[in-house]
Amino acid sequence: MTVQERYEALKSKVTKRKNEFDTFINMLEKGSSWLTSPASTKYHLNKAGGLLEHSVGVTETLLKFRETLAPAISEESCVIVGLLHDVGKIGMPGKPRYLKNDNQWEIEKRNMTYKINPDEVYMNLATRSLYLIAKYISLSDSEAQAILYHDGQYVEGNKEVAHHEMPITLLVHFADMWTATVYEEGRKIVESTDYYDKKD
């Protein structure tokens, strides 16, 4: 399945808040860089469409975790949180965060295919995600927490939520890490057998 087909399948899982979700998605698709934005300037998926590919991947991983660990959480919650957790990376509608880099040295030496729009009003990305989504979609407290703190304890400021995470916050954080590290960067899942080998 293409990323686009996987994306469409995920969108169809939102039913209770379909109207507000569709209005937001429509605005994103037609009036922002949502479908073309990279996921970063130089790290994972720094290519056109990278953000969408990452968001679709994280949502699929989150749905797998949900099925095994937390079926009481709705699929709709997982799609809204998973698909939109990084929507702040679009910048603002009409003012994309990522611009094509024109500095050849940075492209060749640092793999920096994109640069940050110098006109952006700086905001923590997870905060901007929540800011954008909440203008359109009514969120539960848990969904809002999950979006805002999806980076978990990798972000210094997120210490304030330590030990107070709702289950969906824990799941989206791990789905984000797993997708980026294992699926996108291709880190191998290998078990070290040195210990047993020495014993044998």
Q: Round to whole Å and give the CA distance between 55 and 176.
A: 9
- Does 86 bind Fe ion (CB under 5 A)? Our answer is yes
CB nearer Fe ion, residue 21 or residue 50: 50
Segment contacting Fe ion by CB under 5 A, of 64-72, 85-93, 101-109, 181-189: 85-93
Per-residue burial over 114-137, b = 16 or more CB atoms within 10 Å of its CB, e = otherwise? bbeeeeeeeeebbebbbbbbeebb
* Per-residue tokens: 115: 């640069």
* Per-residue tokens: 128: 């901007």
Q: Round to whole Å and give the CA distance between 65 and 120.
A: 35
Q: How many residues sit close enough to Fe ion to count as binding (CB under 5 A)?
A: 2
Report in angstroms how near the CB of residue 123 gets to Fe ion at its nearest: 13
Segment contacting Fe ion by CB under 5 A, of 64-72, 79-87, 131-139, 140-148: 79-87
Distance from the first to the final alpha carbon of the chain: 45
* Residues numbered 140-179 forming contacts with Fe ion, rule: CB under 5 A: 176
- Does 184 bind Fe ion (CB under 5 A)? Our answer is no
- Does 75 bind Fe ion (CB under 5 A)? Our answer is no
- Binding region for Fe ion (CB under 5 A): 86, 176
